[in-house]
A = this chain, B = another copy of it.
């Protein structure tokens, strides 16, 4: 262990109270005393014990993130990592800890209740909201400040969230493919039980409707976003009697699989067929594709993590300010091997 406040105080011939006040920036401390205390703390490498502090103040100075892992499949959404990294930066700077709970998705409610009752965090961040998400109403009841990364269409009462404009991104991506003359456009989407995936489909359907095209169910796929899924979807779509000439992939990793299926079939991307990808993170975007390449980005997931953490901390500091929300617009980045792009 390190030095305690008491030890530091007795070493200086002061009371723990004064030392505490000096360290925490209370105004009523003598300048000279404060300086002495600060110096002593530094040389003694003093760090306050977090647990004692939070027991005394009633604040834990920690934020909880609950990562639901499905019991059925082993994949963790890779954007989590970047998002968490962004949020973590903000917490560190603000002197907050980040507590991660990995919870099987059939025990989520319990996990939330526990974490609140144990008082180990001052706020919570909800990941991967579904269409109807009980977690949100649960947290509203529990009264702990929380933010949602994404939205839940089924929840009517207001809550705090940050989301990217998925619907708009996908409408614009579809419009782009329509402009290129495509009429049979496949949507290789994520799991449509997730709110974001439904919004993406809605955007896709919006654009088709405006163009007067009746959506074809065969052209719409939905599953967990993995490379093998993209590959299989691509193969199956190409086997259709009237195969699509363009593909809209819901994530870069899905596009990789799709690309494999298309090139395996001897198709040349950008000549025989167009692929457009959506991903939140530029860092996954391959450059120099010969495909028209679309990336809807909120200038990286990392930044979204930062912004969400900022908002949550503000909520923790002032819980009475009411729900706060932020909708991030996406950029369109269309590129090919010549480096063209448009926004």
Contact = CB atoms under 8 A, between A and B. Distances in A.
A101 B94 CA distance: 12
Interface string A292-328: 0000000010100000000000000000000000000
A2 interface: yes
Given A55-B52, A98-B101, A98-B102, A2 B89 contact: no
Given A119-B1, A231-B286, A283-B226, A67 B88 contact: yes
Interface string A99-120: 1111110000000011011111
A51 interface: yes
A45 to B, nearest CB: 6
B88 A81 contact: no
B51 A284 contact: no
Given A231-B288, A287-B228, A55 B45 contact: no
Interface in A111-140: 113-114, 116-120
Contacts of A55: 49, 51-52, 55
A60 to B, nearest CB: 6
A84 B100 contact: yes
B98 A99 contact: yes
Contacts of A120: 50-51, 97
Contacts of A1: 117, 119
**Stoichiometry, copies per complex:** 2
Nearest to A57: B51
A338 interface: no
A263 interface: yes
Interface residues of A, number: 67
B101 A92 contact: yes
Nearest to A78: B78
Interface in A249-303: 252, 256-257, 259-260, 263-264, 283-290, 300, 302
Contacts of A87: 102
A80 interface: yes
Contacts of A341: none
26 contacts: A2-B116, A2-B118, A47-B114, A47-B117, A47-B118, A49-B55, A50-B118, A50-B119, A51-B60, A51-B120, A74-B283, A75-B283, A76-B81, A78-B81, A81-B81, A88-B102, A98-B100, A98-B101, A99-B99, A99-B100, A100-B100, A226-B283, A228-B287, A228-B288, A231-B288, A256-B286
Interface of A: 1-2, 45-52, 54-55, 60, 62, 67, 69, 74-78, 80-82, 84-85, 87-89, 91-92, 97-104, 113-114, 116-120, 226-228, 231, 252, 256-257, 259-260, 263-264, 283-290, 300, 302
Q: Which 4 A-B pairs have the closest CB atoms?
A: A88-B102, A47-B117, A2-B117, A81-B81
Given A49-B119, A87-B102, 20 more contacts: A47-B114, A50-B119, A51-B54, A51-B60, A62-B99, A69-B85, A69-B89, A74-B82, A77-B81, A78-B78, A84-B102, A88-B102, A92-B101, A92-B102, A97-B99, A98-B101, A226-B283, A227-B284, A231-B286, A263-B263
